[in-house]
Structure 1
């Protein structure tokens, strides 16, 4: 009876979502990081009236410089073009984890603003969005680049590996959707709920406020942001046409989390999940178990530990973050051991992605050929409770995007191997000595559980 009630509530939740009709031919599935970069540059050049970029970070490196130069060239060619870039407040003012900090991304934004010296009303504006008082307790994980009436959506940020500036790449999903109502809802959300808030400040100014000085504002901003949603003139889900629903979530039991959980109860035949960090929230684990018990097919595509962006080769400097890929593999081994019966009977397929020294950053959910979720949400406890996340839910009742979606999944599977047994995975005794020592210490003081909640 309890499950029946949950199923009923899940169906009701989806029925209550508001959707936007979408033309099939105006949805493109991009296949690679290089294609993603090409589309960014092309869309910058084509933009006539607005560019709004939202990402975790916009890195000071060769790829970042190329994109920023393209933005400035577009601005010089069309001074009325509105360009606003939103990144995480904390991340922009520090270096990468484990690396010595020289000058920050925010310092670079300031240098570029001073170098181009545009009139104040024509400046390209970089904004820092503080989702919590400390980075570890929440970051800006909202995604989406708006160019006029086009949304380019990916979990990727702007840097050398995400855009494959050189040989290495970080693999993500990339989708281009032309839809004025969708693009307007994205921009309106940013303008009304983020840029208008006093906790959000320009990063490209030398006199940036100190975080400690805006902490009360940040606390209030987080609470306000957690109560907001994308607003647009939409309609209920129609079983006769392709439709989109933009979603946003921050904090426990937010609408995005509820939608993802509700989608799991819609599976008729098969659920497919991509996640870079194998660390599902309890509610997702429970739904996976329920689906397996009810005879459904599940495919999970996860990165090999060496394809994790925190992975450190043995010859490089070891940091605490270097242990994370091993912690995720430990989770995966426990999961596959628990559900080994379903692996053996063919119901559960787990694929490990690995392609040389490249890394894996994919996330998303496919429900049969009926629903597709585009999201930057890592489907982990951190995404569920701490970070600001968003998504686009695609309702495809007639399977009009089925061929493109299956093509995307086939591409994702290219560099994967199927786990046949939990013993295919390494365990603690196989790990480098420094990793073993740290994981044992985590286990002794129960710190592994805290780490899993935060990272």
Structure 2
């Protein structure tokens, strides 16, 4: 489900147990400094983690794993009673029963709190914490009344619950719009990272994971993260009155929603970037465990965790093992596709049996949720068995009499190892909601599991409705057939095109770019897209790039007298791949469809970085450039005379780059600076959209003294006044005028107030997102 925010706290813990230590611990007198801790062959392919998240080295002696809910509760009580400096409790909600009230009493009676030396900081979700007459707020009110000076209670409110939706949406349904879902419990220098909420079931018979870690820097980091979330959250006082936090610069449910999202997102992004820089190069003294916190705040545009998870799944090598656990089986379509088509590792997935699902027996629609998860698992199993992956992927179910299962996570076992060397903890259900939300944790309980039975009877209404509600990505998709959704998407883009170009029918003229042995016909489409018909002059074989307007393509094929054999798709977005299926049906001859993402329609040849093929005598190399989307491919072509061209989709534009919809600044830096910038300078650049004028205005804003940019603006204005496309550019030209390919230059870094290229990339892309010339 979209539009639900979970604030992710995922720690990737390297070598939790001494028996799995990677090499010997350094002599305490030695002082070794690395940019990443992955120095051994079994983990070297994860070294990119240091460029994504801050790294906290700790000793495994300071890591304790709790295994039982009762022990978790007793540990909370102990720390609430004895902490002397600070307590930070972060949960979805606080229950209202006897055990929860005892927890509050332990806080109230803590002598340091009574002496006003101990600060208590609590963050819950506003919607979940305010539900019913007796709720989290009523339980916490006595704590505030006893010492409001030393106690802060904050309530996160999603920016998407506002107006009529906020006024009329029933309480038990409004939480699908957005939630705060971190589970962090900090006591002085000790943190418990878990998926468990603060309520009775999680203290008694609901199995979860609980990692107790003692480390000052790590607790400081999470306290800082929580404080920044509190800056844009609501605050409760001792009389149960709710107001904006004193530091909040925008209201989450009133005023301009986008302003709030930008303000809150920037606050978190800047904190994460500052923390990553501070903890990027670490002195390793006596450490055998490394923790990488990542954050997922989908509604604020922060998606670090989904990127990390996807990359781990995709890059786990052959003969390694991935063990995944989730209380609620609803993997995203992207994760499912990656596990089936890309992952080489063996995979075991543990999920809750319907009888171990906390929703079983709930009133109304919620009572059918366990069977909907079973249906998703069944469809996933059918798909991977159809692809002959049944020996590599296996499903298990947790079932223990009288218990429910809420534990989640991922373990990575290197090839030929009986122990894991890395785990994800937090709240990862790995589902559509979780990718937009927080990620819980899980515990390895295969001794309590059995082979999954996916053929159980599913209620009819779940087959008709429940599967779509849990699995699809938007409210529209819950209610409408996929074919109708595609039609509506097409209609949307066509309406935009009509508003933009009117009866002219095209935003630019058709032009031909002739190279020695290759011709590129530029075909405008929609309001600002470009398609490209590539023809080999020797053989008359042709390929089309991103054919969103099939009729235009068919007309061009006839006019050029060529034989179309290939469709090259840069990425899955409808305005690039939306015409694939229609074009394939209309063509008289068989055609191959290339792309790097299973979401691409009519895909026949999935490609990866470095894959090569030919269009007649023209050689093609695939360049994997994830960021705008996770499966984005640029196509580098070279004819028999050595002239080259690159088709960059929405990665590289003239004077700009694509938005980071599914990736990070590090990925865009890799795509632009490390890959595309290293192509021959005379390589022609054909991009996916006519964004040149707006891009160059921003480039001038960044480098006002750059004469090449001023000249490029004049050239672009002249072409656009004549209705002529501004494509192609060249790699050499982009290195002179494009700020995103110049992030290592002092002039660009000074504009961004940054001292390194990747931070500059992040800063100027963030600025460009809201730039108005």
Which TM-score band applies after superposition, normalised by the shorter structure?
Answer: 0.7 to 0.9
TM-score, L = length of structure 1: 0.78
- The answer for the alignment partner of 2:304 in structure 1 is 255
Q: Does 1:418 align with 2:463?
A: no
**Deviations, residues 80-124 of structure 1 (Å, cap 9, x unaligned):** 100011100111111xxxxxx33332233225534x3x3x423x3
Question: Over residues 271-318 of structure 1, what are the superposed CA-to-partner deviations in whole Å (9 max), with x where a residue is unaligned?
Answer: 0111111111122112211355x3x21110100012111111xxxx74
- Equivalent residue for 1:61? 97
Pick one of 242, 248, 259 that aligns with 2:289.
Answer: 242
Please show how residues 24-173 of structure 1 align to structure 2 within 5 Å: 24-74=60-110, 75-94=112-131, 101-114=132-145, 116=146, 118=147, 120-122=148-150, 124-134=151-161, 135-164=175-204, 169-173=205-209
Q: Is the 8 A contact 1:132 1:222 kept in 2?
A: yes
1:361 aligns with 2:385: no
The answer for the alignment partner of 2:421 in structure 1 is 370
Whether 2:407 is the aligned partner of 1:383: answer no
Take 2:396 and 2:86, find their aligned partners in 1: how far apart are those partners?
40
Q: Please state how far the C-alpha of 1:79 moved relative to its aligned partner.
A: 2.1
> Superposition RMSD on alpha carbons, in Å?
3.2
* Aligned partners of 2:330 and 2:471 also within 8 Å: no
Query: C-alpha distance in 1, partners of 2:279/2:440?
Result: 16
**Residue among 332, 345, 352 paired with 1:303:** 352
Q: Which runs of 5+ in 1 are unaligned?
A: 1-9, 95-100, 393-404
The answer to whether the 8 Å contact 1:20/1:243 transfers is yes
Q: Which has the higher contact order (CA 8 A, sep 6+)?
A: 1
3-state SS in 2 of match to 1:161 = helix
> What's the CA shift for 1:159?
0.8
CA contact (8 A) 1:106 1:204 kept: no
| Alignment of structure 1 residues 278-297 onto 2, 5 Å | 278-291=329-342, 294=344, 296-297=345-346
Aligned mates of 2:237, 2:376 — CA distance in 1 = 38
Structure 2 residue aligned with 1:179: 215
Tell me how far 1:35 sits from its aligned partner.
1.1
Instruction: Provide the rounded CA distance (Å) in 1 between the counterparts of 2:465 and 2:158.
Output: 31
Work out the CA distance in 2 between the residues paired with 1:79 and 1:29.
32
Mapped partners of 1:126, 1:326: distance in 2: 37
Tell whether 2:440 aligns with 1:440: no
Report the 3-state secondary structure (helix = DSSP H, G, I; strand = E; otherwise coil) of the residue aligned with 1:25.
Answer: helix
Q: Would you say the 8 A contact 2:60–2:288 is kept in 1?
A: no
How far apart are 1:157 and its partner, in Å? Answer: 0.6
Structure 2: which 5+ residue stretches go unaligned? 1-44, 162-174, 245-250, 414-419, 479-773
Counterpart of 1:196? Answer: 231
Pair 1:382–1:415, CA change in 2 (3 A): same
1:204/1:338 CA distance change after superposition, 3 Å: farther
Would the aligned equivalents of 1:226 and 1:249 in 2 still touch at CA under 8 Å? no
Q: CA contact under 8 A between 2:355 and 2:399: conserved in structure 1?
A: yes
Q: SS at 1:126's partner residue? A: strand
The answer to whether structure 1 residue 321 and structure 2 residue 366 are counterparts is: yes
**Contact kept? 1:323, 1:439, Cα under 8 Å:** no
Find the aligned partners of 1:213 and 1:54 in 2 and give their Cα distance: 19
Per-residue CA distance 1:206-244 (angstroms, 9 max, x = gap)? 33259x994337764444444425453312589994211
1:264 corresponds to which of 290, 313, 319: 313
Deviation at 1:374, TM superposition (A): 1.0
Report the TM-score when normalising by structure 2. Answer: 0.47
Q: State the distance in 1 between where 2:342 and 2:328 align.
A: 21
**CA distance change for structure 1 residues 225 and 249 in 2, over 3 Å: closer, same or farther?**
farther
Once residues 348 and 203 of structure 2 are traced to their aligned partners in structure 1, the CA distance between those partners, rounded to angstroms, is 27
**CA distance 1:287–1:334, shift in 2 (3 Å):** same
